[in-house]
Amino acid sequence: MPNLFDRLNQELEAFGRRAQTALDEGKLQIELLRLRRQRDVAARQLGTLVYRRERGGQSEPRRIDAVMLRLDDLEQEIASLEARLKEMGCEPPGASSESEAEPVTADTAEGQAHTGV
């Protein structure tokens, strides 16, 4: 009889570990989606600022620099979370399309502004 209880206890502990891992993974994926959304908003802001500057509008170099720094920070946080998810053996949501996309940098934003892309 004690053997049965030991086995049941082991199974319950294993189930608890799997459930906790799934919960942790879900939290990381939600955080990753939140950071990607913030990155998209910052990239849109940068695009608007560069567009205004290129069209002769009021230039805000400090604001452009601030948005680019924010994008750099977000890219680092996203890369860190994606690495953590891969360590856990999961595929980050949207990783296949995201990883193939070129990250937005000052060079690509300016190139796009000049080429019309």
What pLDDT is recorded for position 13?
A: 92
Q: Give long-range contacts, CB 8 A cutoff, 24+ apart: 47-55.
A: 47/109, 50/109, 50/110, 50/113, 51/113, 54/113, 54/114
Query: What is the rounded (10 degree) CA torsion for 100, 102, 104, 107?
Result: 170
Predicted TM-score (pTM) of this structure: 0.67
pLDDT band at 36 (very low <50, low <70, confident <90, very high): very high
The string of pLDDT tens digits covering residues 39-70 is 999 999 999 999 999 998 887 889 999 999 99
**109 C-beta neighbours (distance < 10 Å), count:** 20
pLDDT band at 93 (very low <50, low <70, confident <90, very high): confident
